[in-house]
Structure formats: structure tokens, C-alpha cells
């Protein structure tokens, strides 16, 4: 079975650009999460979808970050405009049984904003 896939694996952007990250959850999973990961903070939740509906939208990230779930098997995270402080690993995860069920993560997109 395919796990969570994310593209691209690496992204380099200049300050002010728009970038779009993509995620395909595990087939059949109803819950999809976008996180930002840093060594200091660990995982920070950006967005949480349940059955394509946005359930949580991380307050600190609302202004320049927008996640969408166009169908049950595809989601995007748009960062617009990018800033150097956005440099981090962006992880997508999915789960079958709700917010606190085991989450399966993709390999992540490493973003560097110059």
C-alpha cells in the first residue's frame, strides 16, 4: 500500500514568492494534517481536514498559509508570500480514525526561503 506522498521533496524560493506543496494521503484515510517541523518547536499544526472539511486552521499561520483539500486524495498547502522564517520541513499526515488516531506521515518537503 502506498503511504503518504508529498511533492516536491525540496523547494527553494526567494522571499515574496508563492509556493505550493502537494500531498496525497493514504488511500481511504479521512483525516489529513499539515504540519511544520522545526528542531526547536517540533511539530506545529497548520491545518486539519476531516472528510475534506477544514476542522482546524493554526491561528499563527493563517495570514500567509492556506491549505486546501480539493478531493479526498489530494491536498495543497500554499504559502504566499514566502518569508525566510518559513524555511522548515513541511509534513503532511493522514489518519483513518479521527484527530487522535495514529497518524502516518509523508517524507516531507524541505523548504528554503532565501
Partner 1 sequence: GDQVEQSPSALSLHEGTGSALRCNFTTTMRAVQWFRKNSRGSLINLFYLASGTKENGRLKSAFDSKERYSTLHIRDAQLEDSGTYFCAAEAGGYKVVFGSGTRLLVSP
- Which residues make up the interface to partner 1 (CB under 8 A)? 3-4, 40-45, 56, 58-59, 93, 100-107
| Least Cβ distance, residue 11 to partner 1 (angstroms) | 19
DSSP codes, 25-60: PPTT--EEEEEEEETTTEEEEEEEEETTEEEEE-GG
Select 13 or 88, whichever has its Cβ closest to partner 1. Answer: 88
Alpha-carbon separation of residue 109 from 8, 10, 19, 55, 88 (angstroms):
6, 5, 11, 23, 8
Minimum distance from residue 1 beta carbon to partner 1 (Å): 13
Q: Name which of 13 and 47 has its Cβ closer to partner 1.
A: 47
Q: Least distance (Å) from partner 1 to the CB of residue 110?
A: 15
Amino acid at each position: 500500500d502506498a503511504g503518504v506522498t508529498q511533492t516536491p521533496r525540496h523547494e527553494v524560493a526567494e522571499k515574496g514568492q508563492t509556493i505550493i506543496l502537494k500531498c496525497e494521503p493514504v488511500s481511504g484515510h479521512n483525516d489529513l494534517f499539515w504540519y511544520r517541523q522545526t528542531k526547536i518547536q517540533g511539530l506545529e499544526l497548520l491545518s486539519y481536514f476531516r472528510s475534506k472539511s477544514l476542522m482546524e486552521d493554526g491561528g499563527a499561520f493563517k495570514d500567509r498559509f492556506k491549505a486546501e483539500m480539493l478531493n479526498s486524495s489530494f491536498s495543497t498547502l500554499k504559502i504566499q508570500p514566502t518569508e525566510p522564517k518559513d524555511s522548515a520541513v513541511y509534513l503532511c499526515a493522514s489518519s483513518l480514525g479521527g484527530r487522535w488516531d495514529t497518524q502516518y506521515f509523508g517524507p516531507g518537503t524541505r523548504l528554503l526561503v532565501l
